[in-house]
Chain A
Amino acid sequence: MKYVDEFRDGAVARGLAERLAAEVDPARTYSFMEFCGGHTHAISRYGIAELLPKNVRMVHGPGCPVCVLPIGRIDQAIALALDRGVMLCTYGDVMRVPASASAGPPPAGGDPLGGRAAQAPRGLSSESLSLMRAKARGADIRMVYSAADALKLAREHPDREVVFLAIGFETTTPPTALVIRQAAAENVGNFSVLCNHVLTPSAITHILESPEVREYGTVPIDGFVGPAHVSIVIGAAPYEHFAEEYRKPVVIAGFEPLDVMQAIVMLVRQVNDGRTEVENEFTRAVTRDGNLAAQQIVSAVLELRTSFEWRGLGEVPYSALKIRPAFAAFDAEKRFGLTYRSVADHKQCECGAILRGVKKPTDCKLFGTVCTPESPMGSCMVSSEGACAAHYSYGRFRDIPVVAAT
């Protein structure tokens, strides 16, 4: 595969690893946060951690939109499918995320459907529901590969209400905006979107300056590996803010393992030189301004929410998008009169601290025992890109001394 395989070359990787080893200052440690879930996955899948010098540590940030989708939002989607009989369309990775337990009707005033009379009990089981489990109980949940597929289903089933559960950072937002605009142009009367799109720069700012930093301790992050595909859309310019205001270098990195390693070399150099700039390693796809066509489509259809809850981080101001009033007919929240009820994670879940880089997965009491990919308790385990899931699936052999073959 052109422009993919060349960026996975093992021999070049070894060269970069040696360069890195030559340039790090042995007297200090370096902590870099890779914000993007795709980078977390790449680091785990290719075993990049093995190739880094011992004093370079990668901290996995909250750049996995499945992981940061709050339980309350999934509850809304499940309720629409199970109780309102909509055809709920969603991307694959969301289907297994566990949401709230399903024993009986919820307490008055906290109904995710917003003020309806008590629902019929869904059974006495207190296991938590996910979209996949809701499907097993008869909900019509369809996995789609793109937002356009959801609109296609709406056209094919004019007698059904079709709702698209939209999640994702700035990479995934333009397709959703496109599909809403398309639905409006075609006057599709049975289609709406449950919009949970979130924004990268706000999340990074929140990590660096939130009040909880006092509770968990200072965040020892020396620099950021900027997301690959989000940056294609938003450009390199939005990161200039952190570099200046927080005095942290940012290197935007491509998605392949060589890109990640090169970005780490560039970050180490910046730290050694005392520079705090925005550099672009992913020049083959990212420009300073980004994809203007995509940005225009998004701002025509969506607007900022004043606040949005992120699983593991709490309420984050100006960090998410909602559908503009002009497109209210396609806004599932308005169409179905939904209200939002926040649901807390397990008390012993350490996701908040892990997302900020203050704790590691193995520091959490629940990791690997109660909390596994099969039965995730918190946001870091729910998707294969969360820090805990990535470590469990690819790296937990490092936690246990392994005896070599004789």
Chain B
Amino acid sequence: MSTAKKDYVRPIDFRHGRVDMNHGAGGRASAQLIEELFARAFDNDALRQGDDGALLDVPPGHRLVMATDGHVISPLFFPGGDIGCLAVHGTLNDVAMLGARPLYLSAGFILEEGFPLAELKRIVESMAAASREAGVPVVTGDTKVVEQGKGDGVFITTTGIGVVPLARRLGGALARPGDAILVSGTIGDHGVAVLSQRESLEFETQIVSDTAALHTLVAALLAALPEGAVRTLRDPTRGGLATTLNEIARQSTVGMLLDEAAIPIQPQVHAACELLGLDPLYIANEGKCIVVCDAAHADAALDALRAHPLGRDAARIGTVTEDPNRFVQMATGFGGRRIVDWLSGEPLPRIC
């Protein structure tokens, strides 16, 4: 008689194991990975049902907001964060930027054959921690595996659903001439932290990524101002502050005038950008937001932002202007004026 234990399944070796094609095939190996890693880390009622989708409650008197983000960042781990928490924060922020309270997240993983399970576990646990801290569960997900060479380790797509009160309407097309432009903190931190890890640009710095979930900061801001006073919220991720402001200017058909001296930048970020020939205005941020609001309420907005741990360095950086050409202009610290244009391609370190 066999002495094999009934229903015994050898646990996944997360220390030395690697992702293989079985993990994405939908069979036992897939189920085991989901159970031992994803479900265990994210653990919530919806996931415990074990269905392919999640049945969700939506509070009445609200509209739904949905946002999605794909994450392909390299390196996967960087000072201050990793692709996992970045994926959670990024989507929570997109939902929050429409003035919504995020309720649920989904997470899709595309894994490359050969990717170390130890790293995957680290990433998933980081996501789970970010999700718990934000109070927003990952209620459904998916995993696929592609052959070695066809993926960069791991790609993560997160989708978020949130709710916004019926009376609230925020958007990039709502900025008006005379409105104040605020930023919730220092810019360029995330991009510089990631660049400092890239080979051939190696430099030592204490800068860490600012990756963070902004929904509580946004809630505090919106609670402090009358409905309608905040026109636009947007987080300046890829392309940086400059690109995001240009997007809003285009959507609203307005111009902008910024004050260079007022834009908060950490001295080390400034120095690193100088060293590499990069302009901090075009560097990605993952824990900051731009606020366009009625100028009459700008001071109240700044107070609300600064009272929150993620908004301590909030500052007013400019004003929306009337401009059919939709230029974003800047008064330089030096006393001249220049335009802050769209990003032209990938920001490559300048030599000249």
B327 → chain A closest CB, angstroms: 5
Cα of A394 to Cα of B322 in the assembled complex, Å = 19
Judged by a CB distance under 8 angstroms, whether A402 is at the interface is yes
Judged by a CB distance under 8 angstroms, whether A112 is at the interface is no
Interface 1/0s, chain A 1-15, versus B by CB < 8 A?
A: 100100010100110
Q: Once the chains bind, are A385 and B321 in contact (CB under 8 Å)?
A: no
Judged by a CB distance under 8 angstroms, whether A50 is at the interface is yes
| A44 / chain B contacts, CB cutoff of 8 Å | 338
Q: Once the chains bind, are B177 and A406 in contact (CB under 8 Å)?
A: yes
Judged by a CB distance under 8 angstroms, whether A405 is at the interface is yes
| A65 / chain B contacts, CB cutoff of 8 Å | 352
Q: Once the chains bind, are A405 and B319 in contact (CB under 8 Å)?
A: yes
Given A48-B336, A50-B336, A394-B338, do A168 and B351 touch, yes or no (CB 8 Å)? yes
Q: Once the chains bind, are A47 and B336 in contact (CB under 8 Å)?
A: yes
Judged by a CB distance under 8 angstroms, whether B200 is at the interface is yes
Q: Once the chains bind, are B327 and A397 in contact (CB under 8 Å)?
A: yes
Cα of A64 to Cα of B335 in the assembled complex, Å = 26
Q: Which residue of B lies closest to A45 (CB)?
A: B338
Interface 1/0s, chain B 20-56, versus A by CB < 8 A?
A: 0000000000000000000000000000000000000
Which parts of B320-338 form the interface with A (CB within 8 Å)?
A: 320-325, 327, 329, 332-338
Cα of A403 to Cα of B307 in the assembled complex, Å = 37
Given A10-B333, A149-B200, do A143 and B338 touch, yes or no (CB 8 Å)? no
Q: Which residue of A lies closest to B328 (CB)?
A: A397
Given A405-B319, A405-B321, do A64 and B352 touch, yes or no (CB 8 Å)? yes
Q: Once the chains bind, are B334 and A405 in contact (CB under 8 Å)?
A: no
* A-B contact number at CB 8 A: 116
A258 → chain B closest CB, angstroms: 8
Judged by a CB distance under 8 angstroms, whether B271 is at the interface is yes
Judged by a CB distance under 8 angstroms, whether B162 is at the interface is no
From B206-214, B283-291, B339-347, the one touching the partner chain is B339-347
Judged by a CB distance under 8 angstroms, whether A91 is at the interface is yes
Q: Once the chains bind, are A397 and B329 in contact (CB under 8 Å)?
A: yes
Cα of A65 to Cα of B325 in the assembled complex, Å = 33
Q: Which residue of A lies closest to B276 (CB)?
A: A145
Judged by a CB distance under 8 angstroms, whether A96 is at the interface is yes
| A172 / chain B contacts, CB cutoff of 8 Å | 351
Judged by a CB distance under 8 angstroms, whether B62 is at the interface is no
Q: Once the chains bind, are A1 and B352 in contact (CB under 8 Å)?
A: no
Cα of A66 to Cα of B352 in the assembled complex, Å = 9
Cα of A299 to Cα of B84 in the assembled complex, Å = 53
Q: Once the chains bind, are B335 and A47 in contact (CB under 8 Å)?
A: yes
Cα of A10 to Cα of B259 in the assembled complex, Å = 13
A385 → chain B closest CB, angstroms: 5
Judged by a CB distance under 8 angstroms, whether A23 is at the interface is no
Judged by a CB distance under 8 angstroms, whether A37 is at the interface is yes
Partner of A91 from the list B325, B337, B351 (CB cut-off 8 Å) is: B351
| B132 / chain A contacts, CB cutoff of 8 Å | none
| A132 / chain B contacts, CB cutoff of 8 Å | 345
A146 → chain B closest CB, angstroms: 8
| B341 / chain A contacts, CB cutoff of 8 Å | 392-394
| B271 / chain A contacts, CB cutoff of 8 Å | 1
Interface 1/0s, chain B 251-283, versus A by CB < 8 A?
A: 000010100010000010011001011000000
Judged by a CB distance under 8 angstroms, whether A244 is at the interface is no
Q: Once the chains bind, are A8 and B322 in contact (CB under 8 Å)?
A: no
Cα of A143 to Cα of B276 in the assembled complex, Å = 13
Q: Once the chains bind, are A393 and B344 in contact (CB under 8 Å)?
A: yes
B23 → chain A closest CB, angstroms: 29
| A8 / chain B contacts, CB cutoff of 8 Å | 333-334
Judged by a CB distance under 8 angstroms, whether A93 is at the interface is yes
Judged by a CB distance under 8 angstroms, whether A396 is at the interface is yes
| B276 / chain A contacts, CB cutoff of 8 Å | 145
Judged by a CB distance under 8 angstroms, whether B228 is at the interface is no
Partner of A47 from the list B200, B332, B350, B351 (CB cut-off 8 Å) is: B332
| A383 / chain B contacts, CB cutoff of 8 Å | 352
| A397 / chain B contacts, CB cutoff of 8 Å | 325, 327, 329, 337, 339
| A297 / chain B contacts, CB cutoff of 8 Å | none
Q: Once the chains bind, are B334 and A257 in contact (CB under 8 Å)?
A: yes
Judged by a CB distance under 8 angstroms, whether A158 is at the interface is no
Listed residue (B270, B320, B336, B337) with the most chain A CB atoms within 10 angstroms of its CB: B336
Number of A positions contacting B (CB below 8 A) = 52
| B344 / chain A contacts, CB cutoff of 8 Å | 373-374, 393
Q: Once the chains bind, are A393 and B349 in contact (CB under 8 Å)?
A: no
| A185 / chain B contacts, CB cutoff of 8 Å | none
Judged by a CB distance under 8 angstroms, whether B178 is at the interface is yes
Q: Which residue of B lies closest to A92 (CB)?
A: B348
Cα of A38 to Cα of B277 in the assembled complex, Å = 11
A102 → chain B closest CB, angstroms: 19
Which parts of B132-187 form the interface with A (CB within 8 Å)?
A: 177-178
Judged by a CB distance under 8 angstroms, whether A285 is at the interface is no
Q: Once the chains bind, are B255 and A402 in contact (CB under 8 Å)?
A: yes
Judged by a CB distance under 8 angstroms, whether A358 is at the interface is no
Judged by a CB distance under 8 angstroms, whether A22 is at the interface is no
| B325 / chain A contacts, CB cutoff of 8 Å | 397, 400, 402
Cα of A8 to Cα of B332 in the assembled complex, Å = 10
Which parts of B225-273 form the interface with A (CB within 8 Å)?
A: 255, 257, 261, 267, 270-271
Cα of A392 to Cα of B339 in the assembled complex, Å = 9
Q: Once the chains bind, are A393 and B339 in contact (CB under 8 Å)?
A: yes
| B320 / chain A contacts, CB cutoff of 8 Å | 405
Q: Which residue of B lies closest to A258 (CB)?
A: B334
Judged by a CB distance under 8 angstroms, whether B118 is at the interface is no
Cα of A44 to Cα of B338 in the assembled complex, Å = 7
B210 → chain A closest CB, angstroms: 22
Partner of A384 from the list B200, B323, B350 (CB cut-off 8 Å) is: B350
Q: Once the chains bind, are A51 and B335 in contact (CB under 8 Å)?
A: yes
Judged by a CB distance under 8 angstroms, whether A17 is at the interface is yes
B110 → chain A closest CB, angstroms: 21
| B351 / chain A contacts, CB cutoff of 8 Å | 91-93, 168, 172
| A356 / chain B contacts, CB cutoff of 8 Å | none
Q: Once the chains bind, are B352 and A45 in contact (CB under 8 Å)?
A: no
B19 → chain A closest CB, angstroms: 26
Cα of A47 to Cα of B260 in the assembled complex, Å = 12
Q: Once the chains bind, are A38 and B352 in contact (CB under 8 Å)?
A: yes
In the A-B complex, list the 8 residue pairs whose CB atoms are closest, starting with the nearest: A47-B336, A92-B348, A405-B321, A50-B336, A46-B334, A394-B338, A373-B344, A47-B337
Taking Cβ atoms with an 8 Å cutoff, the residues of A that contact B are: 1, 4, 8, 10, 13-14, 17, 37-38, 41, 44-51, 64-66, 91-93, 95-96, 132, 142-145, 149, 168, 172, 257, 373-374, 383-385, 392-397, 400, 402-406
24 A-B Cβ contacts within 8 A?
Answer: A13-B335, A41-B352, A45-B338, A47-B332, A47-B335, A51-B334, A51-B336, A93-B348, A143-B348, A143-B349, A257-B334, A373-B344, A374-B344, A374-B345, A384-B352, A393-B339, A393-B341, A395-B339, A396-B339, A402-B323, A402-B325, A403-B322, A405-B177, A405-B320
